[in-house]
Amino acid sequence: MTIGNLTAIAVKQAKPADKPYKMTDGGGMYLLVDVKGGKYWRLNYRFAGKSKTLALGSYPLTSLAEARDCRDKARKLLEQNTDPGMVKKVAKLTAHHAAENSFEAVAREWQEKFKSSWTAQTANKNLRILEVNAFPWIGHRAIDDLKAPELLAVIRRIEARGLIDTAHRLRMTAGQVFRYGIATGRCDRNIAADLSGALVPLKKTHFAAITDPTKFGQLLRDIWGYEGQFSTSCAFKLSALFGLRPGEVRGLEWSEVDVDNALIRIPLGKMKSRRLHVVPLCRQAMQIIDELKPLTGGGRFCFPGMRMNDRPMSENTINAALRRLGYDTKNEQTAHGFRSSFSTMAHGSGLFRGEVVEIQLAHKHGDAVRLAYDRGEYLEERRRLMQWWADECDRMREGAQIIPLRGNTTA
């Protein structure tokens, strides 16, 4: 058997003909040239008394020297009574299986399956933290092969940048991916759980908030005297009156405002608690919304962005307005702090049941049965609560009667 008949120049210069033809190199290997000029390396061999053909690659991606190396490896397998075609098939199946069960593949499958139960912000944040901080380093690895030190090394990169909260969030998110992998039979352990004591501890922080009625009255006077953009002024005032999270205020859509029934209905996809949240509208809030509608009512968002109407206002707008009024948003008052102000004074008034205030704050409480009835169970009580709060805000703003706080308060 003569081996090495072909040359690199002959392979390169081979031209297509009216029908496919072969250029043999010996040892069963040849170059197949098709009518369109495609060039493919093939190896004919016999195994268990049957003639078979093994694909060795295509030219020029696989050179003559590389094709010969593949042929020699296949011949050695034959000498060991092993079918090289079967070896290749198993390797292909193994690679496909590994790709389907990589950390990235399982994470994206988990994200797709559960994103409908999250807010859009949470869904985007979960995926983004993985895409930026995990996939480039461990995304290709089979999830069942990953070890705790590998995940820790990825998290250490985040800690080194001073992003401690992000590091903890990645560990938590990775843990959810591993739990999903266990449930779907792709891995046996949640290695993220092994890292619970290996990260730099989080320093628990609270959103700055004014809870003293006298000082809060001054804040309200400053807000009602704000001279910035009219839509920002409206969002500023409603932030104080609603007790909603900043993202829920700025993301409010006109389709969610029911003027006829004096309600706002925020769908579950936008709420942190992942439940429909109903906000009764007090007289003062209705007046603000009536004044705002001629300006932004033709669009989707009540408070659109300054540059793009198809997006809500920036998440920094209210905090920027507070700073413009001279308030320290780190230590004195934040946009999120209005919730604490409302909660502290509403609980402290002693006029309303605690669960009514908590439902209005969209906090989870009680057992599953009670949660199922929260949407309408306390609506009339919450109407009274929100009208009381708006009236109290008017009194505090006017420097009149101060809310008497009773006993312990809940922020």
Which residues carry out catalysis? 245, 272, 336, 339, 363, 373
Task: Please classify residue 314 by burial: count the beta carbons closer than 10 Å to its beta carbon, then call 0-12 exposed, 13-18 middle and 19+ buried.
Answer: middle
Q: How many residues does the chain have?
A: 411
CA distance 333 to 49: 84
CA distance 195 to 170: 11
Say if residues 159 and 199 touch (Cβ distance below 8 Å): yes
**Residue 100 CA: distances (Å) to CA of 145, 176, 348:** 13, 18, 55
Q: Where are the beta strands (DSSP E) in 62-112?
A: none
Within 10 A of 24 (CB to CB), how many other CB atoms are there?
14
Q: Which residues contact 102 (CB under 8 A, 6 or more apart)?
A: 139, 140, 141, 142, 143
Say if residues 399 and 410 touch (Cβ distance below 8 Å): no
Amino acid at 139: G
Looking up tokens 């730099």 gives 200
Q: Distance between terminal CA atoms of the chain?
A: 88
CA distance 186 to 158: 27
CA distance 15 to 37: 6
Give bridge partners of residue 279 from the DSSP assignment. 264
How far is C-alpha 6 from the chain's CA centre? 56
> Which value, in Å, is the radius of gyration of the alpha carbons in the chain?
33
